[in-house]
A and B are shown apart, each in its own frame.
Chain A
Amino acid sequence: MKGLIQKLNKAFDNKIRLGIMSAISVNRKASFNELKELMGVTDGNLASHLKKLEELKYITVHKSFFGRKPNTEYEITPKGKEAFEIHIKALEAILKQQ
């Protein structure tokens, strides 16, 4: 039991970071605005959590322009995908044990 809890990823104990990873793991890519709409959080709040995931190398950032509008997209990395899968497996294993 103790061992399993240790397998849970500390990076995902925040609801917003968990939400970002969930959305981005199905769609592979999501734009800043799409994530904001899904999560219903402020720009600053979302940006700080994205930054954290980026520092962990779980996601990568792609910046481009739609005409003059900047468009920022986030993509899941293989490392991020793996970490997220391990986290979900650990959650499932804990629930099975109890």
Chain B
Amino acid sequence: MEKKEQYIDEIKAIKQMMEQSSRFLSLSGLSGILIGIYALIGAYIANLAFHSGLEITDLIKKMLGLALIVLLISLATVLILTYRKTVSDGYKVWNKGTRLMILNLAVPLITGGVLTTVFLMKGYYGSIAASLLVFYGLALINAAKYTRQEIYYMGLCQIILGIIAAFIPNQSILLWAFGFGFVHILYGTIMHFRYDNNTKTKKV
């Protein structure tokens, strides 16, 4: 029977090495929950501004500022929490998995960012929420191969919400809150309970 344990260990070692050499596994679930909450707060403020009777150009400027602040705080949260988790898991922060994940995340994300800026400059305000959600979803699907597979389904959700937003642009804020807020909180919670607590025992 001791033999059997040995073979199971061997299979485990192979699987772990395959994942560790090509995937980034220390995404923090807690950071997903936090950025979801930021997005909901942002959407709430945006909704107040929307009904305050401001002129459209002023309104757009305020919204942009708000979106940028939420984005920066979210990015900082993800970076700090993920960095801490990677270090406490005992992994190197900058390895092949990290590089592959960031590269695959960045290409659709930057494309979406540039395209949305063009929409903004041309005044196609109705397409902004839709294009950001769709490109964010594509970025997640693309990066999922190099991190936890759950990210793939989160990407699908964002794309579907983005397409709905394209059909009903006057509900943009609501769909945005749902995608960047609710979906992040849901996935953050799942990831937190699946991985955040038991990672210590995972490292052999």
Partners in one complex: yes
A→B interface (CB under 8 Å): 15, 18-19, 22-23, 25-27, 30, 34, 37-38, 88, 91-92, 94-95, 98
| B20 interface residue (CB < 8 Å to A) | yes
Q: Which 8 A-B pairs have the closest CB atoms?
A: A22-B17, A23-B21, A22-B14, A26-B18, A26-B22, A19-B17, A22-B18, A98-B4
In the assembled complex, the Cα of A38 lies from the Cα of B14 at a distance in Å of 12
Q: Which residues of the other chain, A, contact B92 by a CB distance below 8 angstroms?
A: 37
A30, B21: Cβ atoms closer than 8 Å: yes
B→A interface (CB under 8 Å): 4, 7-8, 10-11, 13-15, 17-18, 20-22, 92, 95-96
- Do A25 and B18 contact each other (CB < 8 Å), given the known contacts A15-B13, A18-B13, A19-B13? yes
In the assembled complex, the Cα of A6 lies from the Cα of B10 at a distance in Å of 16
In the assembled complex, the Cα of A23 lies from the Cα of B20 at a distance in Å of 8
In the assembled complex, the Cα of A49 lies from the Cα of B18 at a distance in Å of 18
In the assembled complex, the Cα of A26 lies from the Cα of B96 at a distance in Å of 12
In the assembled complex, the Cα of A84 lies from the Cα of B10 at a distance in Å of 13
A40 shortest CB reach to chain B, Å: 10
B11, A22: Cβ atoms closer than 8 Å: no
Q: Which residues of the other chain, B, contact A91 by a CB distance below 8 angstroms?
A: 7, 10-11
A26 shortest CB reach to chain B, Å: 5
Q: Which residues of the other chain, B, contact A37 by a CB distance below 8 angstroms?
A: 92, 95
A26, B21: Cβ atoms closer than 8 Å: yes
- Do A27 and B7 contact each other (CB < 8 Å), given the known contacts A19-B17, A88-B14? no
In the assembled complex, the Cα of A18 lies from the Cα of B18 at a distance in Å of 11
Q: Known pairs A38-B95, A95-B4, A95-B8. 11 more at Cβ < 8 A?
A: A19-B13, A22-B21, A23-B17, A26-B18, A27-B21, A27-B22, A34-B95, A34-B96, A91-B11, A94-B4, A95-B7
